[in-house]
Amino acid sequence: MIIKPKVRGFICTTAHPVGCREHVREQIEYVKANKPAGSGPKNVLVIGCSNGYGLASRIAAAFGYGANTLGVMFEKEPTEKRTASAGWYNTKAFESFAHEAGVYARSFNVDAFSNEAKAAVIEAAKSELGPIDLVIYSLGSPRRTDPNTGITHSSSLKAIGEPVTRKNLNTDTRQVGEFTLEPANDEEIANTIKVMGGEDWELWMEALVEAGVLADGVKTTAFSYIGKELTWPIYGGATIGRAKQDVDRACKVIAQRLKPLNGSAHVSVLKAVVTQSSSAIPVMPLYLSILIKVMKEQGTNEGCIEQVNGLFNNELYADSALTLDEEGRIRMDLNELKPEVQDQVAAIWEEVDSDNLDEKADFAAYQEEFFRLFGFGYSNVDYDQDVDPIV
């Protein structure tokens, strides 16, 4: 099959197996070149392991610290006629690099919200892995079926209170227009919390504690985003922000639960990056196109792997104590929030339009990163070559 990108709105419906392998290989190379000084995790569980921040976490654990990893993902398998989703190819590539390096890696393609997923991981931890000393929670999902009620809840990207209108970039047409987020009703807010809040992280940790598969001193972290004025009305101050507040709540409960194990739980706030999840959030593509330009000019731009490798080496497994904000969160987003970055992004935001998009923002860099998520745009991959979609 000759595989080319097919973009539908904010998603690419095809993925390139060789390109995805390259996407993973590049991140492994980065981690190897930026190795930690000290010791780190031995047995790691990554929930949401196949893309974005979760994939980067798995790579940082396995190739920075030689950790064994269990991964949970929800990805589309390939057929003769249809490519797999990118996360499937990423995971196959990760596993093959890990096995080549003699590092244990096993992945479960299963709904992480289900009881079955938890049971499968616990079984593998008991029979193959040994006590888990790090749990990364990095799910990005639009819906969740509650395993106790069987009810499927869908999240809403909506405002709280009043409607919010913001500049927005249509990534298909390259037109800068406006986007209005309607206010959510109480049910929509509750459903978004149900999907993207902390309940499932709590259920995972409870199941792992109950099963006795966590090591003494276990650490767990879930990822969050806060942002500042520009993204606040559509993220921090909107339904997603409410869900992230619930992750903060869950974190405190989990920290208490892990005390007898001398364990710890923290929310890690990470910077905005191009991922499948963030590209689906209105306003983010325009914000990211400007942010990437500004942070590149200031020499501080980072992607998933730089952020997560920094989180592991400089916070979670550093010799010094964690640097926490007043809410007890780890902050890897401080460069993004610096006034010299936010002020410049805000100034460009005022001026940017469809005609000056390439001059004011770096939409080319945004698009390049977007296509790379699906394995496209690597100069060392021959995209005219026939490849087998089944890996």
65 is catalytic: no
59 forms part of the interface with ligand NAD (CB under 6 A) = no
Q: Which of 14, 51, 57, 168 binds ligand NAD (CB under 6 A)?
A: 51
Using rule CB under 6 A, residue 233 touches ligand NAD: no
3-state secondary structure string across 114-151: CHHHHHHHHHHHHHHHCCEEEEEECCCCCEEECCCCCC
Residue 266 to residues 23, 82, 197, 217: CA-CA distances in angstroms?
A: 28, 40, 14, 13
Q: Applying CB under 6 A, does 107 fall inside the site for ligand NAD? A: no
Q: How far is the CB of 53 from ligand NAD (least distance, A)?
A: 4
Measured in degrees and rounded to the nearest 5, phi and psi for residue 144 equal -150, 130
Catalytic residue among 235, 287, 366, 378: 235
By beta-carbon distance, which residue lies closest to ligand NAD? 52
Cβ-based neighbour number of residue 333 at 10 Å: 21
Check residue 261 and give left, alpha or beta (phi > 0: left; psi -120 to 50: alpha): alpha
Q: Known binder of ligand: residue 225?
A: yes
Per CB under 6 A, which region of 35-43, 184-192, 205-213, 267-275 contacts ligand NAD? 267-275
Q: Judged by CB under 6 A, does residue 272 bind ligand NAD?
A: yes
Could you say which DSSP state residue 191 is in? H
Q: Does 52 bind ligand NAD (CB under 6 A)?
A: yes
Distance CA 288, CA 279 (A): 9
Q: Could you tell me how many helices (H) and strands (E) the chain has, helices first?
A: 15, 13
Per CB under 6 A, 263 contacts ligand NAD: no
**Where do the H-state alpha helices sit in 162-275?**
186-196, 199-211, 239-257
Task: Please tell me whether residue 45 binds ligand NAD under the rule CB under 6 A.
Answer: no
Interface stretch with ligand NAD, choices 108-116, 174-182, 228-236, 322-330 (CB under 6 A): 108-116
- Has 74 been labeled as part of a binding site? yes
Residue 34 and residue 109: Cα distance in Å, rounded? 30
Q: In what helix (H) or strand (E) does residue 185 lie, and over which residues does it extend?
A: none
C-alpha to C-alpha distance for 198 and 191, rounded to whole angstroms: 12
- Answer for which of 134, 250, 258, 273 binds ligand NAD (CB under 6 A) is 273
Cα of first residue to Cα of last residue in the chain, in angstroms, is: 13
| Integer Cα distance of 1 and 4 in angstroms | 9
Q: Is 275 annotated as a binding residue?
A: yes
CB of 152 to ligand NAD, least distance (A): 11
The least CB distance from residue 226 to ligand NAD, in Å, is: 8
Task: State CA 278 to chain mean position distance.
Answer: 9
Site residue total, ligand NAD (CB under 6 A): 29
- Is beta strand 214-224 parallel, antiparallel or unpaired with respect to 132-137? parallel
Residue in 221, 276, 313, 344 binding ligand NAD, rule: CB under 6 A: 276
Does residue 275 belong to the site contacting ligand NAD (CB under 6 A)? Answer: yes
- 122: contact with ligand NAD by CB under 6 A: no
Choose the stretch contacting ligand NAD; rule: CB under 6 A; options: 160-168, 186-194, 219-227, 252-260.
219-227
- Taking the complex as a whole, the smallest distance from the CB of residue 253 to ligand NAD amounts, in Å, to 18
Report d(CA 291, CA 366) in Å as an integer. 10
- Residue 138 lies near ligand NAD (rule: CB under 6 A): yes
Between CA 248 and CA 231 the distance in angstroms is: 19
The binding site for substrate consists of 225
User: Which of the residues are catalytic?
Assistant: 235
The binding site for NAD(+) consists of 48-53, 74-75, 111-112, 244, 273-275
Chain residues in the site for ligand NAD (CB under 6 A): 48-54, 72-75, 87, 111-113, 138-141, 223-225, 270, 272-273, 275-278
The binding site consists of 48-53, 74-75, 111-112, 225, 244, 273-275
